[in-house]
Structure 1
Amino acid sequence: MWVFWALLAAISAALVIVLTKAGLKNIDSSLAFAIQSVMILVITWGVVFFQGNFHEWRAIEKNAWVFLIAAGVFTTLSTLFSYKALSQGPASVVVTLERSSLVIAIILSVIFLKEKLTWQVIVGGSVMIAGAVLISLSNSRD
């Protein structure tokens, strides 16, 4: 079932990039993100209340709070940086470079989460980086 959710996340992320790029005309990138953040809050808290698990916040351990808050800070920074890049560059290149974060995440998960590094992961990550470089170079001449 996780594959289904991951594919929905990929489709949603792609839509975010295209819709954001279209919406950034004549608007500051930080303001655009602030507007979208309101929807993020409304929808995510709506889901929490709909699922009936709001009361579970009291059971969250201290370490989990630290990790989740730090992740929230980096999510915000990542999105602000991404929107700034989208406001200045072509979506196809911006998203390609931004998604090189997948390779960085692989490296960090091996170092900090002790996840196994296989030859398939190494080859896949290398192909992702090569693709990002290729797309960036092809658009830098335009």
Structure 2
Amino acid sequence: MNWPAGWLPWALLSASFAALTAVFAKIGIRGVDSDLATLVRTAVILLVLTPFVWLTGKWSNPLALPGRTLLFLALSALATGASWVCYFRALQLGQASQVAPVDKLSVVLVAVFAFALLGERPSLQEWAGIGLVAAGVLLLALAR
């Protein structure tokens, strides 16, 4: 099977799966504690990803990774977990069509954090796009 090359097809697939995540999660958390639902989701990911990495020949000893890499991967995992817990709680309390767009404020925050912490410098056109995303989030959040 030929996989798409470049970042854009993968980013579009990510967005599509993220959209399905919101819809499936909203259905799945009915009558279930959102924290328990997050745990189940995490367990499923672990059960699916472990054999995937093994069968594709990408397994190596994670403890052999440099300490800095492990630290930042652990911080990323903690941030992901916190994001999922908050996301599921928001989905349980609000409509998916409200929660998911506000969650995408992360696009704006990534740009700000990358500017401050990684030294990335978006162009004026890119900042305009980031501003439009922020405005869109505000319009969706305040619309109800």
TM-score interval (norm. to shorter)? over 0.9
Query: Counterpart of 1:54 in 2: which secondary structure?
Result: coil
Question: How many matched pairs?
Answer: 139
Query: Counterpart of 1:66 in 2: which secondary structure?
Result: helix
Query: What's the CA shift string for 1:14-58, capped at 9, x where partnerless?
Result: 000000001111111111111111110011112210121222524
Q: Which residue of 2 aligns with 1:60?
A: 65
Q: Percent identity?
A: 29
User: 1:5 pairs with 6, 10, 23, which one?
Assistant: 10
Residues 1:83 and 2:77 are matched in the alignment: no
Runs (5+) with no aligned partner, structure 2:
none
Q: Which residue of 1 aligns with 2:130?
A: 125
What RMSD, in angstroms, separates the aligned Cα atoms of the two structures? 1.1
Runs (5+) with no aligned partner, structure 1:
none
| Aligned residue type for 2:72 | F
Query: Counterpart of 2:143 in 1: which secondary structure?
Result: helix
Greater share of helix residues, 1 or 2?
Answer: 1
TM-score (norm 2): 0.92
TM-score (norm 1): 0.93
Distance 2:56 2:125 in 1: 37
